[in-house]
Amino acid sequence: MRQTVIIIGATSDIARATAMELAKQYDLVLVGRNETELEAIASDLSVRSDCQVQTYLFDARNLDTHAELVATWFEEVDTVAGAVVCHGFLPEQTQAQRDWELAHQTLDVNFTSCVALLEPLMDRLESQHESFLAVVSSVAGDRGRQSNYIYGAAKGGLSVYLQGLRNRGTKSGVHVLTVKPGFVATAMTIGLVDPKSPLVAAPEKVARDIVRGIRKRKNVIYSRWFWRYIMLVIRVIPEWIFKRLSL
């Protein structure tokens, strides 16, 4: 009997590509806010692979419903192997600086909603042992930069939160993977990145890295791999120099 993986934010480009990789081994529960897109992805996966796919609607900012939704997902399948959390929101920085609602949405979707979701998910997975959580954060959270510090603050908070969750999960057999993509050619980054740049990854590449990280029980992965070293250089720049840079 195939185990099931829950994919939250399943209509994102990274999530779709990850679902395609995971469908080779698991049945899937796809969770997202667009019912039409969810059904289209589910139909495509069912045709391309020998897996069962269920879909559920999910609004990241409706925080009070998260625990109840998690309970529903677990009740509908026999065994949940793990979950992949891919939902996110990337604003234009200068607009978010001037618009509190936009800044609030950025913090809620990228951080607060993840905590509201991951706590009940962790509770359920801990009762099963040998399961996993893979959560998409970002290299933007490695150091605050003027070009995206509101988004970066949310992702930085998420990465620190996942460190604690990983510490907790080690004792109960839940593997927690933090995924830090750099530039990725997705619908969310249209106009922000050049898809032909060597620094930009395709969603399919990030998906393969995620699945490999789950399989090898990695703690933190950067996708593509060289972002680990780019961000290492950025992190070690002394603050008195860094604050004068345009990054």
Burial 178-214 (b: 16+ CB within 10 A, else e): bbbbbbbbbeeeeeebeeeeeebbbbebbbbbbbebb
pTM of the model: 0.95
State pLDDT tens for residues 211-241. 999 999 999 999 999 999 999 999 999 999 9
Whether 82 is in a domain gets the answer yes
pLDDT at 148: 96
Question: How many distinct structural domains can be found in the chain?
Answer: 1
What is the arithmetic mean of pLDDT over 12-19?
A: 96
State pLDDT tens for residues 40-95. 999 999 999 989 999 999 999 999 999 999 999 999 998 999 999 999 999 999 99
pLDDT at 190 over 90: no
Whether 74 is in a domain gets the answer yes
**Beta pairing partners, 7:** 30, 84
Whether 104 is in a domain gets the answer yes
- Identify the band that residue 197 occupies on the pLDDT scale cut at 50, 70 and 90: confident
Whether 247 is in a domain gets the answer no
Range of the domain at 197: 4-242
Q: Where are the alpha helices (DSSP H) in the chain?
A: 13-22, 35-48, 66-75, 93-98, 100-107, 113-126, 149-172, 203-215, 227-236, 239-242
State pLDDT tens for residues 93-145. 999 999 999 999 999 999 999 999 999 999 999 988 789 999 999 999 999 99
pLDDT at 227: 97
Q: What end-to-end distance do the CA atoms of the chain give, in Å?
A: 50
pLDDT at 192 over 90: no
pLDDT at 156: 98
Whether 237 is in a domain gets the answer yes
Q: Contact 69/83 with Cβ under 8 angstroms?
A: no
pLDDT at 194: 77
Whether 98 is in a domain gets the answer yes
Query: What CATH code is carried by the domain that includes residue 12?
Result: 3.40.50.720
pLDDT at 129: 77
Whether 209 is in a domain gets the answer yes
Whether 53 is in a domain gets the answer yes
CA-wise closest residue to 117 among 91, 136, 130: 136
